[in-house]
């Protein structure tokens, strides 16, 4: 069988099928694997990620995929998320000793950037989500409702919207609240923050992203398969209206008994002949799935300017700052302890000071999701804007020298989770015999994430195996609810 596309969706499908003893031939147009979630080497030799990628504890399929390809130990998990506002007030989200959904009660109560009024309105909205087990009925209104509309209906204060909901959701979903289907927004809070006490734990790669996929090629080759790089598929070969092969440069053709197309929806829409779009109406609306941008800014300073592994800024253009120098240290060990101690947490003096002494320079990566405002700005304008904000947030950066900077604008970073988008997302199974689809944009129930991409790959592999008469299951269940939520869901299911 043939997989086209070596991003997470294609790799997940390819590895799952290889594990089921299928001979997989995977064709990727670029010279490396990982698709959007990869890294490359700049002309000056520097390894940069195509933007920082993070996972959460609730991403059970991505976790399974990393395990299959031997990459689990390259991800560091953190149980503490730190926030900073322009007035210098800090807040953190961290599970305390109470059970879910009250595990954040302590850190939330002392979250300085929010007022009590903001906190009360957030608590009321959370209660609504809990009462409906993550699925309030109004989310199912025809055409969907936007997250902003849902928040307004829940009487959220402007402070709560700007300094809490927007901060979490624009980063998680890469879209503004008025253009986000409330179903996705509510789901983030249910799965990551409410239903379990570990779903929010944030996993950050401790190696450049492309290193995560070292095991994929070996896994596919172990079963006699191949991973063929620098091989863009240029067209489809049809015989009597049926898919009979794929075409490459120099009139090369390859054929197989089944094909999984795991390429972005825009690329697929261009490749598919009109006759196939007519044969399966689900393939005729791919152009209705819109995209949204993410901008990554990479700064190299001549000295240490930041102590913590990452930080979220409130009321700023920069949303996240990642301390890549620190994150790449000791890839094998968890760094939960390297956040600087706050007066509330009496932790031993941490490793960051050791790290600070060891390094004379520091590499930071900044992330700005839904970065529509930056698309028209020049590289210099973006650097100036980010540098000014960074110096405001990190006092040590004020005297530091910026050695170099890189700006990576991804205009079509993810599909836009706008209200009602799910009606345009096709299933992994098509009406065309032998043609399967994978990609974060297919029907996964998830937004455009690495977890969604892996789910789509597993679903495509399952569909193909079902059709072959030898079914196998790859999809992992969601993280099990725990604490009070588990008890309550158990009781409400019984009654």
Work out whether strand 226-228 and strand 25-27 pair parallel, antiparallel, or are unpaired.
parallel
- How far is residue 245's CA from residue 254's CA, in Å, rounded to a whole number? 6
> Would you say 49 or 118 has its CB closer to ligand FAD?
49
Which CB, 199 or 439, lies closer to ligand FAD? 439
Residue 263, token pair as written in the block: 């390429």
Comparing CB distances to ligand FAD, the nearer of 219 and 451 is 451
Smaller CB separation from ligand FAD, 319 or 355: 319
Asked if residues 190 and 127 have their Cβ atoms less than 8 Å apart, the reply is no
Residue nearer to ligand FAD on the CB measure, 105 or 412 = 412
Written as six digits, the tokens of 378 are 């020049």
Q: What is the 3-state secondary structure (H, E, C) of 164-219?
A: HHHHHHHHHHCCCHHHCEHHHHHHHHHHHHHCCCCCCCEEEECCCHHHHHHHHHHH
Minimum distance of ligand FAD from residue 239's CB (angstroms): 20
Question: How many Cβ atoms sit within 10 Å of the Cβ of residue 428?
Answer: 26
Least distance (Å) from ligand FAD to the CB of residue 261?
9
Confirm if 489 and 133 have CB atoms less than 8 A apart.
yes
d(CA 101, CA 190) in angstroms, rounded, equals 9
What does the binding site for ligand FAD look like in residue numbers (CB under 6 A)?
4-10, 27-30, 35-37, 50-51, 53-55, 232-233, 262-264, 267, 294, 296, 410, 413-414, 439-440, 448-453
Taking the least distance from each CB to ligand FAD, the nearer of 150 and 213 is 213
Q: How far is the CB of 459 from ligand FAD (least distance, A)?
A: 12
**Whole-number minimum distance, CB 72 to ligand FAD, in Å?**
16
Spatial contact of 154 and 93, defined as CB atoms under 8 Å apart? no
Gap between the Cα atoms of 478 and 486, Å rounded: 13
Q: What angle do CA 319, 322, 327 make, to 5 degrees?
A: 160
We find the least distance from the C-beta atom of residue 428 to ligand FAD, in angstroms, to be 12
Least distance CB 322 / ligand FAD (angstroms): 10
Partners of residue 226 on adjacent β-strands: 25
**Least distance from ligand FAD to the Cβ atom of residue 48, Å:** 11
Q: Which is nearer to ligand FAD, 36 or 217 (CB)?
A: 36
Q: What are phi and psi of 332, to 5 degrees?
A: -85, -15
Identify which of residues 58 and 279 has a Cβ nearer to ligand FAD in the complex. Answer: 58
Closest distance between ligand FAD and the C-beta of residue 169, in Å? 13
**Run of H or E residues at 160:** helix 158-160
Beta strand pairing call for 310-313 and 291-301: unpaired
Least spacing, CB of residue 306 vs ligand FAD, in Å: 19
Question: In this complex, which beta carbon is closest to ligand FAD, that of residue 81 or of residue 485?
Answer: 81
Structure tokens at 91: 């807040």
């Amino acid at each position: 069988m043939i997989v086209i596309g070596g991003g997470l969706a294609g790799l997940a499908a390819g590895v799952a099928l290889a594990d089921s003893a299928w001979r997989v031939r995977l064709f990727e147009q670029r010279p490396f694997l990982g698709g959007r979630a990869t890294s490359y080497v700049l002309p000056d030799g520097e390894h940069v990620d195509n933007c920082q990628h993070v996972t959460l504890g609730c991403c059970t399929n991505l976790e399974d995929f990393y395990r299959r390809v031997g990459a689990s130990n390259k991800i560091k998990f953190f149980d503490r998320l730190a926030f900073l506002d322009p007035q210098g007030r800090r807040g953190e989200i961290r599970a305390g000793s109470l059970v879910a959904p009250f595990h954040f009660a302590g850190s939330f109560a002392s979250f300085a950037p929010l007022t009590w009024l903001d906190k009360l309105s957030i608590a009321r909205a959370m209660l609504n989500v809990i009462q409906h087990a993550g699925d309030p009925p109004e989310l199912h209104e025809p055409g969907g409702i936007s997250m902003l509309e849902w928040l307004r209906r829940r009487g959220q204060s402007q402070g709560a919207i700007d300094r809490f909901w927007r901060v979490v959701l624009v980063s998680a979903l890469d879209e503004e609240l008025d253009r986000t289907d409330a179903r996705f927004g509510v789901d983030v809070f249910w799965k990551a923050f409410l239903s379990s006490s570990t779903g929010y734990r944030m996993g950050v790669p401790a190696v450049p992203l492309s290193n995560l996929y070292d095991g994929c090629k070996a896994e596919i080759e172990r079963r006699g398969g191949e991973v063929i790089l620098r091989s863009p598929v240029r067209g489809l070969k049809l015989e009597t209206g049926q898919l009979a092969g794929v075409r490459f440069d120099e009139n090369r053709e390859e054929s197989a008994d089944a094909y999984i197309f795991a390429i972005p929806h825009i690329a697929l829409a261009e490749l598919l002949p009109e006759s196939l779009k007519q044969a399966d109406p689900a393939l005729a609306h791919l152009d209705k799935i819109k995209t949204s941008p993410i901008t990554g800014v990479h700064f190299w300073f001549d000295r240490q300017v930041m102590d913590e592994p990452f930080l979220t800024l409130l009321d700023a253009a920069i949303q996240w700052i990642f301390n890549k120098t620190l994150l790449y240290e000791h890839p094998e060990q968890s760094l939960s302890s390297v956040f600087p101690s706050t007066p509330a947490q009496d932790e031993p003096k941490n490793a960051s000071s050791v790290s600070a002494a060891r390094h004379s320079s520091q590499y930071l990566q900044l992330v700005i999701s839904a970065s529509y405002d930056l698309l028209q700005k020049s590289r210099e304008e973006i650097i100036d804007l980010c540098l000014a904000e960074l110096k405001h947030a990190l006092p040590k950066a004020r005297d530091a020298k910026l050695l170099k900077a890189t700006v990576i604008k991804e205009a079509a970073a993810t599909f836009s989770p706008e209200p009602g988008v799910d009606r345009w997302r096709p299933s992994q199974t098509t009406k065309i015999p032998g043609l399967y689809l994978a990609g974060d944009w297919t029907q996964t129930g998830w937004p455009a994430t690495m977890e969604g991409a892996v789910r789509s790959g597993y679903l495509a592999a399952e569909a193909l195996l079902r059709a072959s008469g030898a079914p196998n299951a790859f999809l992992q269940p969601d993280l099990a609810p725990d604490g009070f939520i588990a008890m309550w869901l158990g009781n409400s299911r019984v009654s």
